[in-house]
């Protein structure tokens, strides 16, 4: 596996490439053209500029997160083919520039949902958090306003102000979309893009819905083992794979994370590994990556990835705000750097343990 860090670009990220380069074991970044809108074509020139900036800092672009999918594609509207054609052109340009991993999601309206961006923990750190009770008590049109004050002046993915300004229109677009229709639209999209993925060896790694259940009545399909296996079987191509995000699948405590990983052998193209602490099944908060700080057995998650021969990019995710840092919630430097070194340490321990066992 290759340890990476998500980076939003020098114009948008409080974390610099020079800082990322100093995290032991981190050799690449997962990045994006953050100022592009869903449906925009990414030009080769802009991709080249992005790669050159990253290379100048001694790193490389290990993958893209995300090339966002336009709502016309998710809803299957009459103009979806135009946006799929644009998506294909972007994939072609990425492939020509030797980039072979794209993380994306197929979530309606909200890319992810949290009810708090700065819940204070006993140690003084602040974290992203979610309670179903708070969601049930709020109008979705007021959701952005309820958390925007804690964004620390940043623009958070999936919660762009211009997108949230159209929240009523977005909900209207999805009013007739249920799980089955969303599956149909995902299948159509994947069947259209697989030829270019085959040509340029681009792995499409769908990100799970977060949290892993319906929010505000919206359909959510990438939520469990059954559904993800269905998605891969309906477009049975090795380039049609997943981003295994322990924190997103793990929002549903019924999901057995190590078992899911083992069932997806060969189709996990990218991994996000993070920990959650549950106060109840529908009240959770982000934790430090350390197993004992949350609910998940991080060793067993990493062991499952090792056992299936996972060799793709991996990154820590959703760090706490610690040591007075002011950054995009979940995406500061310090706690994600701690997370990267902890995950590298687990991997090294597993690797050495397996080697010693083989020698005996």
Residues labelled catalytic: 207, 245, 272, 317-318, 331
Decide: 203 and 232 in contact? Cβ < 8 Å.
no
DSSP string, 261-297: HHHTTTTEEEEEE--EEEEETTEEEE--SSGGGSSS-
Question: How far apart are alpha carbons 130 and 55 in whole angstroms?
Answer: 37
Residue 157 has what DSSP assignment?
Answer: T
Give me the DSSP letters along 81-130.
HHHHHHHHHHHHHHHHTT--EEEE---SS-SS--SEEEEEPTTS-EEEEE
**Does residue 98 come out as left (phi exceeding 0), alpha (psi in the -120 to 50 range) or beta?**
left
In this structure, are residues 129 and 116 in contact, taking their beta carbons and an 8 Å threshold? yes
Q: Measured over all CA atoms, what is the biggest interatomic distance in the chain, rounded to whole angstroms? A: 64
Query: What single-letter DSSP state applies at residue 193?
Result: H
> What's 219-253 look like in SS3?
CCCCCCHHHHHHHHHHCCCCCEEEEEEHHHHCCCC
- Cα 335-273-147 angle, rounded to 5 deg: 60
Supply 200's token pair: 């340029």
Contact between 30 and 315 (Cβ < 8 Å): yes
Pairing mode, strands 60-65 and 268-273: unpaired
Integer-rounded Cα Rg, in Å, for the chain is 19
Per the CB < 8 A criterion, the answer to whether 34 and 28 are in contact is: no
Cα 106 from Cα 13, distance rounded (Å):
24
């Amino acid at each position: 596996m290759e340890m990476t860090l998500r980076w939003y670009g020098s114009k948008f990220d409080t974390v610099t490439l020079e800082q990322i380069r100093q995290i032991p074991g981190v050799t690449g970044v997962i990045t994006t053209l953050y100022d592009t809108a869903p449906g925009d074509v990414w030009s080769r020139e802009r991709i080249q500029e992005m790669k050159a900036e990253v290379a100048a800092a001694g790193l490389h672009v290990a993958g893209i997160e995300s090339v966002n999918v336009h709502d016309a594609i998710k809803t299957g509207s009459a103009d979806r083919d135009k946006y799929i054609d644009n998506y294909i052109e972007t994939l072609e340009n990425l492939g020509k520039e030797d980039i072979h991993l794209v993380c994306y999601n197929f979530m309606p309206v909200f890319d992810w949902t949290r009810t708090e961006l700065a819940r204070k923990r006993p140690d003084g750190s602040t974290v992203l958090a979610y309670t179903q009770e708070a969601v049930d008590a709020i109008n979705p049109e007021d959701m952005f306003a309820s958390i925007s004050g804690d964004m620390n002046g940043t623009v958070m993915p999936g919660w762009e102000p211009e997108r949230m300004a159209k929240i009523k229109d977005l909900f209207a677009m999805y009013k007739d979309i249920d799980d089955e229709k969303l599956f149909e639209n995902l299948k159509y999209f994947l069947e259209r893009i697989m030829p270019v993925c085959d040509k340029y060896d681009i792995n499409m790694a769908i990100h799970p819905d977060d949290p892993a259940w319906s929010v505000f009545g919206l359909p959510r399909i990438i939520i469990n083992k059954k559904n993800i296996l269905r998605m891969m079987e309906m477009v049975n191509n090795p380039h049609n794979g997943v981003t295994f995000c322990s924190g997103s699948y793990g929002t549903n405590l019924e999901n057995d994370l190590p078992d899911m990983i083992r069932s997806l052998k060969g189709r996990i193209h990218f991994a996000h590994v993070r920990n959650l602490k549950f106060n109840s099944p529908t009240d959770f908060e982000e934790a430090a990556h350390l197993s004992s700080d949350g609910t998940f057995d991080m060793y067993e998650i990493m062991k499952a990835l090792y056992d299936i021969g996972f060799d793709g990019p991996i990154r820590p995710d959703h760090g706490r705000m610690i040591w007075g840092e002011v950054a995009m919630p979940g995406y500061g430097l310090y706690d994600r750097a701690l997370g990267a070194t902890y995950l590298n340490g687990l991997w090294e321990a597993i690797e050495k343990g397996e080697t010693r066992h083989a020698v005996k």
